[in-house]
Amino acid sequence: MERVRTAVLISGRGSNLQSLIHARHEPDYPAEVVLVISNKADAGGLVIAEQAGIPAKVIPHKQFASREEFDAAVDAALREADVSLVCEAGFMRIHSEWFVKRWEGRILNIHPSLLPAFSGIHVHEQALAAGVKISGCTVHFLTAELDSGPIIAQAAVPVLPNDTAETLAARVLEQEHKLYPEALRLVASRKVTLENGRAVFPLIRNRDP
């Protein structure tokens, strides 16, 4: 089986990268991580890539005069590796519009909240401050706006009375590690596609009116 060549963009720890790499051990998994790109030279995820024998590239955003030039370097690396899908996993940079357009429908992001609630940073602090009783994580197609875009999959967790941002983050992260490989499976096997700004599941028939 030919697996869809997938790149993962990171900025830090790389635990979601790890779960995406690990998915290759599942039978018939339709995607394979063939390239890791980090905008930070000290990202922990680079070690994970090395241990898994996956080529990793550091493209430090600070070396570029503009967002566009940085994105052009990322785009060139993705093309050079003949990548078809891109997963952002804790990649803390906003892309330029042309980059998002170029990869439209082929670039995913994971965010540790039930979007559209609590985008941006300090997500778990935001959830605790709002007093929500349920939080979770979202995988969505990337759009030019931060942490928005058509939703592919979500998982929910309870928010417990004594939660801190750290305990809630850990509970959500456990779900992220299951959700992201499943969302990538759906996209790589074309069970979900981006059409007219919506995530469409062609195998699920609309209910008759």
Catalytic residue flag (residue 111): yes
52 binds ligand GAR (CB under 6 A): no
Residue of 110, 127, 153, 183 interacting with ligand GAR (CB under 6 A):
110
Is 120 or 202 the residue whose CB approaches ligand GAR more closely?
A: 120
Residue of 3, 15, 32, 67 interacting with ligand GAR (CB under 6 A):
15
CB under 6 A: which stretch of 7-15, 24-32, 34-42, 200-208 binds ligand GAR? 7-15
Burial of 26 per CB tally in 10 Å (0-12, 13-18, 19+): exposed
Residues in region 152-191 near ligand GAR by CB under 6 A: 173, 176
Q: 111, 122, 124, 177: which one is catalytic?
A: 111
Residue number with the smallest Cβ distance to ligand GAR = 90
CB under 6 A: which stretch of 5-13, 96-104, 125-133, 150-158 binds ligand GAR? 5-13
CB under 6 A: which stretch of 6-14, 56-64, 157-165, 194-202 binds ligand GAR? 6-14
Q: Residue 53: what residue type? A: G
What positions carry a catalytic annotation?
111
Chain contacts with ligand GAR (rule: CB under 6 A): 10, 12-16, 45, 89-90, 110-112, 123, 147, 173, 176
